[in-house]
Copies of this chain bind each other. A is one copy, B any other.
Amino acid sequence: MKETAKAYRPAALDDCLACPARHIDLLSSADAEGRVALLQHFEIATFAPKEPIYRMGDPGEWLYLLRFGLAKLLRYSASGTERIVHLARTGDTIGTAAITGNHHRRTAVAMTPTEVCRIPGEVVRECGKTNPAVLDALLAQFQASADAADTFLTELSTGSAQVRMARLLLFLTEKHDHNEAPLPSREEMGALLGTTTETASRVIAEFRREGAIEMLHNDRCRCNMAVLNLLATL
């Protein structure tokens, strides 16, 4: 497949009003005219499933805010197989290496139709210099995301395959209503849980038979929270 530069469009005020927070927190520390000045640097684009948002090794020019969707952050083991080390959901910020100007250390790939807003790292750095409160917010966010990262990894890499799958489904429902969750492919689930594709498939099939989940479509399900919560804490 030929690589084409992704088309980004400038963010309009309406976009920002509808934005799922987070960078609001980050930039709310800036004063009014500062915010307006920042806004013109924001750009928006959409990604289809399997499209990369950025790649490991890319210069950290932008950081990205997920306006909606689901993306996986990949790391490659010495043997070449890929492992998903984190999932980013609506409202999450990814590619934060851009803040320090470092190259990106993970590859980010959309798993569902996803819309992101990209912000130049340069702008964030400048903003931080003139407004120290922004830096405090950044530090706090780094803490939180480092924390989230190892929670994520330990939750999904300890316990039986059933337990880990239950935890994954609970994680996926958190950003959705009516206990619904987007269902990744079995292969992706395997990469998330550290199991084979077949095991992921077997566990999902078992969950369906036992009523722990109910299929809504190929790639969505409704979760039985009581059952899954019970399984997840085993």
Contact = CB atoms under 8 A, between A and B. Distances in A.
Contact of A158 (B83, B129, B150): B83
A75 to B, nearest CB: 6
A82 to B, nearest CB: 11
A205 interface: no
Interface residues of A, number: 38
Contacts of A150: 75, 85-86, 149-150, 153
A196 interface: no
Interface in A68-107: 75, 77-79, 83, 85-86, 96-97, 99-100, 102, 105
Interface in A137-164: 138-140, 142-143, 145-147, 149-151, 153-155, 157-158
Interface string A114-146: 000000000000001100100110111011011
Interface of A: 75, 77-79, 83, 85-86, 96-97, 99-100, 102, 105, 128-129, 132, 135-136, 138-140, 142-143, 145-147, 149-151, 153-155, 157-158, 194, 232-234
Kindly list the 4 A-B residue pairs having the minimum CB-CB distance in the complex, ordered from nearest.
A157-B157, A146-B146, A142-B142, A153-B153
